[in-house]
């Protein structure tokens, strides 16, 4: 079950499918499924068996001819590929409903996101305790990041505040920013920014509904 060594060339299209593989494999492990062929596995995911085998081949040889894939092993490998076994210290800025939803979602902790600080600018929210963490005043954000060596910042503020928060995060030295504000944010190129636009899914749905 060897992971390829050396610099990998992973096509962008493959990279985008990795989170899906992670999700399905996790669920299959939970279900206790031991073994699946590329055909059975890809069938559940709605892709071709050819594509599944081709994709996995970027990273190594995880199957066994004549037998298929051991799900537990493949899940392990996928965790390694994605770097999920690593833990990232994170702060979350903007403790509204979306922020609270993310803090409470155990899936994020499982993926390796450890939220150690919550921040907001609203006096009514500052001081609240959520999941064992007290919401701090956003003025303390910059200092906190440096002190605690925070690596990832999650932005769940309203659109207007997003860029300002991103600047504080960047100045504090985070390596990555996960942004939920609809406005895209800019940061220096060495900081990795991942934008999640929840509303996009709705437009996809509407477009498909209209097509019919």
Partner DNA sequence: TAGATTGTTAATCGATTAACAATC
Binding mask 28-67 for DNA (x = CB under 7 A): ---------xxx-------xxxxx-xx-xx---xxxxxxx
Q: What is the DSSP string of the chain?
A: -PBP-S-----HHHHHHHHHHHHHHHHHHHHT--EE-HHHHHHHHTS-HHHHHHHHTTTB--EETTTEEEHHHHHHHHHHHHTTTS-EEEEEE--SHHHHHHHH-HHHHHHTEEEEEEEES-TTTTT-EETTEEEEEGGGHHHHHHHHT--EEEE-S-HHHHHHHHHHHHHHT-SEEEE-SSS-----TTSEEEE--HHHHHHHHHHHHHH-
Asked whether position 105 contacts a copy of itself by CB under 8 A, the answer is yes
Residue 33 binds which entry of DNA, a copy of itself, none, with Cβ cut-offs from 5 to 8 Å by kind? none
C-alpha span between 157 and 162 (Å, rounded):
6
Q: Which is nearer to a copy of itself, 66 or 209 (CB)?
A: 209
DSSP state, 140? G
**Among residues 60, 68, 112, 142, the one that binds a copy of itself under rule CB under 8 A:** 112
Chain centre distance of CA 171: 22
**Among residues 36, 100, 115, 145, the one that binds a copy of itself under rule CB under 8 A:** 100
- Exposure on the CB side of residue 82, measured as CA atoms within 13 A: 23
Asked whether position 11 contacts DNA by CB under 7 A, the answer is yes
Asked whether position 19 contacts DNA by CB under 7 A, the answer is no
Pick out residues in 20-59 that bind a copy of itself (CB under 8 A).
Answer: 20, 22-23, 27
Asked whether position 102 contacts a copy of itself by CB under 8 A, the answer is yes
Asked whether position 173 contacts a copy of itself by CB under 8 A, the answer is no
Asked whether position 206 contacts a copy of itself by CB under 8 A, the answer is yes
Residue 174 binds which entry of a copy of itself, DNA, none, with Cβ cut-offs from 5 to 8 Å by kind? none
C-alpha span between 56 and 36 (Å, rounded):
14
Residue 160 binds which entry of a copy of itself, DNA, none, with Cβ cut-offs from 5 to 8 Å by kind? none
- Contacting residues toward DNA, per CB under 7 A: 11-14, 37-39, 47-51, 53-54, 56-57, 61-69
- Contacting residues toward a copy of itself, per CB under 8 A: 15-16, 18-20, 22-23, 27, 81-84, 86, 88, 96-98, 100-102, 104-105, 107-108, 111-113, 151-152, 175-176, 178, 182-183, 192, 194-210, 212
């Amino acid at each position: 079950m060897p992971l390829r060594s050396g610099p990998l060339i992973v096509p962008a299209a493959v990279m985008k499918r990795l989170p899906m593989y992670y999700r399905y494999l996790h669920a299959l492990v939970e279900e206790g499924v031991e073994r699946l062929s590329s055909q059975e596995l890809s069938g559940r995911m709605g892709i071709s068996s050819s594509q599944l085998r081709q994709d996995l081949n970027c990273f190594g040889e995880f199957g066994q001819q004549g037998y298929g894939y051991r799900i537990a092993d493949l899940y392990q490998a996928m965790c390694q590929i994605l770097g999920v076994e690593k833990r990232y210290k994170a702060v979350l800025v903007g403790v509204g409903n979306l922020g609270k939803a993310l803090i409470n979602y155990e899936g994020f902790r499982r993926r390796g996101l450890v939220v150690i600080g919550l921040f907001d600018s609203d006096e009514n929210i500052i001081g609240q305790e959520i999941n064992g963490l007290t919401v701090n005043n956003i003025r303390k954000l910059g200092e906190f990041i440096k002190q605690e060596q925070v690596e990832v910042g999650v932005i769940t503020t309203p659109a207007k505040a997003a860029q300002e928060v991103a600047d504080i995060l960047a100045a504090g030295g985070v390596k990555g920013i996960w942004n939920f504000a609809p406005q895209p944010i800019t940061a220096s190129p060495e900081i990795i920014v991942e934008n999640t636009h929840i509303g996009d899914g709705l437009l996809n749905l509407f477009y498909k509904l209209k097509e019919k």
